[in-house]
Amino acid sequence: MHPTIKSWHQLLSRRDTTGLENLLADDAVFHSPIVHTPQRGKDVTAQYLSAAFQVLVNDSFHYVREVEGANDAVLEFAVVIDGVQVNGVDMIRWNAEGKITDFKVMLRPLKAINLIHQKMAEMLEALAS
């Protein structure tokens, strides 16, 4: 397992977003399953990932499959939120320094997308306050 992915797993297991500062590249880009435009920059990427931690990472969250290349990985996850089974994929790319440069999240089914959209909007609003 690449050290970047190992670090990602450690952050998730601790539910600790403070480590994102060291894991993200300054030019990181976040691709949301809800927002149609890429969110560019370390700060906004950290903000979206922090909100996602709050919304998605609970005791049922787990990765069910991982495929890793030299500079990228695809991690399929499953989680239950408010009784809704959510299935998703984190597509992560990192640079030569091991910093995440691109993070894309894809979700299914539609009921889960709608639920996550609502909860992420609430969480991002709360984080901005």
Tell me, what's the pLDDT at 127? Answer: 65
Three-state secondary-structure class, residue 33: coil
8 Å CB contact between 4 and 100: yes
Residues 50-104: tens digit of each pLDDT? 888 888 889 999 999 999 999 999 999 999 999 999 999 999 999 999 999 999 9
Task: State residue 69 phi and psi, 5-degree precision.
Answer: -110, -165
User: Is 56:45 a contact under the CB 8 Å cutoff?
Assistant: no
High-pLDDT (> 90) share of the chain, % = 66
Dihedral sign, Cα of residue 13, residue 16, residue 20, residue 21: negative
* C-alpha separations of 43 from 14, 50, 67, 105 in Å: 21, 10, 27, 17
